Amino acid sequence: MTPKQDSHAGLRTRLWLRRNINPLLERGSRLLAPTAWLQGREVVFQGIVHRELDRLDIRDTPFYPLRSAATYSYLYLLLRAAQELPELKILELGAGQSTQLLDRLAQRFPLVCTTLEHDAGWQQRVQGQVGGEVLHAPLLDAKVQGFTGPVYDASVLASDRRFNMLLVDGPRSSRRRSRWGCLQFIEQRLESEFLIIFDDAERPGEIDTIAATLRMLDAKGQAYRTNLVRSVNSQFLIATEAFDVALRF
């Protein structure tokens, strides 16, 4: 049987529907069923992450992106950053599966990661699994940008240490001004060119801190650009010109 020939006249109605109705349906699905849409995105990130882990022959470390652990979208960003950004000097706030991934990546790419963790037991556990620095940094109450809250003890770092990538994924979140203590590291410990990644960027407390970061950078006259990666957990990226490519990940 000869296949039916298509033509513009025969497909015109379908094309019109796709052009005019499909965008409305897609926007509606995001508004009416956002959880399903975000879970679909996480499945895409999952596939990419496992493909890259296989390609890089990282098979000795199990990853469980559940509960409070790093989600696939976050692991995806770390995989891209390690491979596409030069000479990373990373300061990670909060130890976990991301620490293990970065340690494996440091064996293949030019990056150094230092992690601060306030829970001594967890710090020892993670340090036993990686070769990089996982420092016990107790939480201290300190006033930062007009508000008092828990801040990692920065004295565990040498006073002259600077970083060009900051990962904000600890300590435990709070309803308002969550992980506010990261502002001291942004103000005092970053090089002139940098990339900041906030995990859990969909939560109100983290949004408070992201907004404070942007105000602080604006007050200093720092040029930067931003991007939001959306999944079941979202990540907010702030990059200066040298790290601008990360906004396209």
What's the domain range around 164? 41-248
CATH number at residue 49: 3.40.50.150
Q: Side chain identity at 185, as an amino acid letter?
A: F
Distance between CA atoms of 107 and 109, rounded to whole angstroms?
6
What are 51-106's pLDDT values in tens digits?
999 999 998 878 887 666 789 999 999 999 999 999 999 999 999 999 999 999 99
Give CA angle at 173 (170, 175), nearest 5°.
Answer: 155
Report if residue 21 sits inside a domain. no
Q: How many residues does the chain have?
A: 249
More confidently predicted of 25 and 33: 25
| 3-class SS of residue 142 | strand
Report if residue 14 sits inside a domain. no
Report if residue 63 sits inside a domain. yes
Beta strands in the chain (DSSP E): 88-93, 111-117, 133-136, 139-144, 147-152, 163-168, 190-198, 225-229, 235-239
Backbone angles phi, psi at 245, to 5 degrees: -60, -25
Distances (CA, A) of 232 to 43, 96, 144, 185: 10, 18, 30, 27
- 8 A C-beta contact, residue 78 and residue 48: no
High-pLDDT (> 70) share of the chain, %? 94
Distance between CA atoms of 37 and 42, rounded to whole angstroms?
9
Burial 104-125 (b: 16+ CB within 10 A, else e): bbbeebebebbbbbbbeeebee
What are 167-199's pLDDT values in tens digits?
999 998 888 999 999 999 999 999 999 999 999
Report if residue 18 sits inside a domain. no
Q: Which long-range contacts (CB under 8 A, 24 or more apart) does 108-112 make?
A: 108/56, 108/82, 109/82, 109/83, 110/86, 111/82, 111/87, 112/88
Report if residue 22 sits inside a domain. no
Residue 17 is predicted with a pLDDT of 82
CA dihedral of residues 91, 45, 224, 30 (deg, nearest 10): -130
Residue 54 is predicted with a pLDDT of 95
Structure-block tokens of residue 246 = 């990360």
What are 99-133's pLDDT values in tens digits?
999 999 999 999 999 999 999 999 999 999 999 99
Report if residue 11 sits inside a domain. no
The pTM (predicted TM-score) of the whole model is 0.88
Look at the chain and report how many structural domains it folds into: 1
Report if residue 217 sits inside a domain. yes
Name the residue with tokens 């499945």: 43
Report if residue 6 sits inside a domain. no
